[in-house]
Amino acid sequence: MQSRTTTTVLLGVAQTLAWASSYYLPAILADAIARDLGTTSSAVFGAFSVALLMSAAIGPFAGRLIDRRGGRPVLIASNVVFAAGLAALSQAQQPLHVFAAWAVIGLAMGSGLYEAAFATAVRLHGQNARRTITGITLFAGFASTVGWPLTAWLESTMGWRGACLVWAGLHLFIALPLNAMLPAAERAAPASSDAAGQPEQQTALPPAKQRGAAVLLAFVFAVAWFTSTAMAAHLPKLLLGVGASLAAAVGIAALVGPAQVAGRLIEFAFLSRAHPLLSARLATLGHPLGALCIGLFGSLAAIAFAVLHGLGNGILTIAIGTLPLLFFGAKGYGQRQGFLMVPARIVQAGAPFLFGLAVERLGVGALWVSAGLGLAACLALSRLARNLPR
């Protein structure tokens, strides 16, 4: 059996490449694509929203395949589809081609990003996968740090089409071999044992309570992705609204990425022995506490807001992988995770537009909307905690 450390490194590096070449790609290339094809950058981001919707549709099916066959074949296939979609994007001659290419990339996103990696880790290591999930997010937390400068350099030296082709090649010649090094999972184990060959812990929730728990978890995950995506799109504008200069707003917004990694390090080093619900509830309070600081102190608290939001978001990413394992066990994890993430991907696709409307009408007051959602997510997790046996 492959060690958890090896699994973490293989999946972590492959995930870093997958996120950098998909989720973080439009921020750098959207303007160049729009200029070349005679359209608007908003249209390119609209194509990216189509990709998110496609990932929501394919996620449960990819998860079911991982449950049955293991993650290696699914992740390898996702690398091939990523490469095909990026190659198609590089050849786009009109906006319709961009939408079609991003639809293909969306299929790869639904079968090759975090949910698939988490399901692969659980399929291989069962109930012991929590630290592996945390480690994967630590690696992939640097996807924007690596991806944005690399994409910008590629675009400046060989154009946006060449950049897409390079990312396609990286999928085929780096990410695919890494995923191919994962062990082939054994056939799905009987209900009495997990994928690691050890007795599976009894599901914490009785069947009668599982449906309600799934609804609450889906809500929490949707809030997490909505807030994360909304802040990624509008945080600099919000900071300008509280009185920060343009340079300060951009610099402070850039702190979110390192803060996310710091949150995952805190989870890995200090909270890994704590109950997953404790770290998740603390994480949901990060954004509301940051918004409270902004409300009380204005621009003086801008750094505190960015750090608190980033810390919370970083830990919540881990909770998305660990909480379903806690409540439902390892059996059927992949398919269940796919279904739980469908609402999150849908609201994520609409987050920039919807939160943009709130910013236009409420200004900085839009933060109270996202803060309220964070508090609601915390209450949902508290409700779930009451259902667990001590």
In the chain, where the domains are located = 4-181, 207-386
386 by Cβ neighbours in 10 Å (0-12 / 13-18 / 19+) ranks as exposed
Q: Residue 114: name the closest of 145, 135, 85 by CA.
A: 135
pLDDT band at 194 (very low <50, low <70, confident <90, very high): very low
- Percent of the chain having pLDDT more than 90? 55
Contact 78/116 with Cβ under 8 angstroms?
Answer: yes
Digit-coded pLDDT (tens) for 253-283: 878 888 988 988 888 887 777 788 888 999 9
Confidence of residue 189 (pLDDT cuts 50, 70, 90): very low
Q: What is the dihedral of CA 301, 349, 11, 337, to 10 degrees?
A: 110
pLDDT at 390: 57
Mean local confidence (pLDDT), 219-231: 92
Q: How many CA atoms lie within 13 A of 102 on its CB side?
A: 26
Q: Lowest mean pLDDT: which of 6-20, 54-68, 139-153, 278-292? A: 139-153
The CA-atom distances, in angstroms, between 153 and each of 51, 128, 160, 277, 300 are: 24, 40, 10, 41, 34
Cα separation, 211 vs 356, in Å, equals: 33
Query: Residue 224: which of 351, 322, 105, 326 has the closest Cα?
Result: 351
Q: What does the DSSP 8-state code read for residue 285?
A: T
Q: What per-residue confidence (pLDDT) applies to 255?
A: 86
DSSP-based three-state secondary structure for 193: strand
Residue 384: strand, helix, or coil? helix
pTM of the model: 0.85
Give the architecture (CATH level 2) of 207-386. Up-down Bundle (1.20)
Q: Are 263 and 199 a contacting pair, CB within 8 Å? A: no
Q: What is the pLDDT of residue 191?
A: 39
Lowest mean pLDDT across 53-62, 121-130, 153-162: 121-130
Residue 193, strand partner residues: 199
Evaluate if residue 79 carries a pLDDT over 80. yes
User: Domain 4-181 carries which CATH code?
Assistant: 1.20.1250.20
The pLDDT of residue 247 is 83
Q: How does residue 204 score in pLDDT terms, banded at 50, 70 and 90?
A: low
**Do the domains spanning 4-181 and 207-386 agree at the CATH topology level?**
yes
Backbone angles phi, psi at 341, to 5 degrees: -90, -5
Residue 200, pLDDT > 80, answer no
Whose tokens are 């630590």? That residue is 138
Q: Can you give the pLDDT at residue 199? A: 41
Residue given tokens 């640097």 in the structure block = 142
Tokens representing 276? 């997953």
Cα dihedral 218, 224, 226, 230, rounded to 10, equals: 180
Q: Three-class SS of residue 142?
A: coil
Percent of the chain with pLDDT over 70: 93
Nearest to 6 by CA among 164, 183, 127, 137: 183
- Helix (H) and strand (E) counts for the chain? 18, 0
Tokens of 110: 């639904």
pLDDT of residue 192: 38
Question: 313-342 pLDDT, tens per residue?
Answer: 999 988 888 899 888 888 889 989 999 999
Band of the pLDDT at 193, cuts 50, 70, 90?
very low
What does the pLDDT read at residue 273?
A: 76
Residues 192, 126 contacting (CB under 8 angstroms): no
* Average pLDDT over every residue of 84-104: 97
Q: How far, in Å, CA of 186 to CA of 131, rounded?
A: 22
Q: What is the mean pLDDT of residues 276-297?
A: 92
Half-sphere exposure of 278 (CA within 13 A, CB side): 7
Which residue in this structure is represented by tokens 């993650």?
71
> What 3 state SS string does 235-268 have?
HHHHHHHCCCCHHHHHHHHCCHHHHHHHHHHHHH
- The band of 248, judged by pLDDT with boundaries at 50, 70 and 90, is confident
Mean pLDDT of 136-156: 88
What CA–CA distance (Å, rounded) separates 135 from 147? Answer: 19
* pLDDT bracket for residue 143 (50, 70, 90): confident
Q: Residue 68 pLDDT more than 60?
A: yes
Is 118 in contact with 319 (CB distance < 8 Å)?
Answer: no
